[in-house]
């Protein structure tokens, strides 16, 4: 599984996840860890899961955010179908 390109202005994904995770956590009332998980799943894992025809493709391939994880196929699952 290849990662998507690093966002413009960042040297690596870790720096992006740390910075954006803090923003997401503050905006959504999450812990810092949940904020980082939201960014990692939404910005890194989601594009890879949507790549049809590859081994990483998944039916449930749209991340709903950690705060809204009750809307996905079952309560507690943060993914839904496209």
Domain count, the chain: 1
The answer on pLDDT for 55 being more than 60 is yes
* Domain, as residue range, for 17: 13-81
pLDDT tens-digit readout, 56-65? 888 888 887 7
In a domain, 66, yes or no: yes
Q: What is the pTM of this model?
A: 0.73
In a domain, 28, yes or no: yes
Residue whose structure tokens are 């960042």: 10
In a domain, 4, yes or no: no
pLDDT tens-digit readout, 1-34? 577 889 999 999 999 999 999 999 999 999 999 9
Residues 6+ apart with CB under 8 A from 27: none
Distances (CA, A) of 3 to 27, 43, 69, 75: 26, 10, 23, 28
3-state SS class at 80: strand
In a domain, 7, yes or no: no
Residues 6+ apart with CB under 8 A from 74: none
In a domain, 8, yes or no: no
């Amino acid at each position: 599984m290849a990662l998507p390109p690093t966002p413009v202005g960042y040297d690596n994904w870790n720096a992006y996840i740390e910075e954006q995770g803090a923003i997401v956590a503050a905006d959504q009332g999450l812990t810092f860890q949940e904020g980082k998980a939201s960014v990692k799943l939404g910005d890194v894992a989601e594009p890879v899961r949507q790549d049809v025809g590859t081994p990483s493709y998944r039916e449930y391939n749209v991340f709903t955010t950690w705060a809204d994880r009750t809307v996905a196929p079952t309560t507690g699952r943060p993914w839904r179908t496209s």
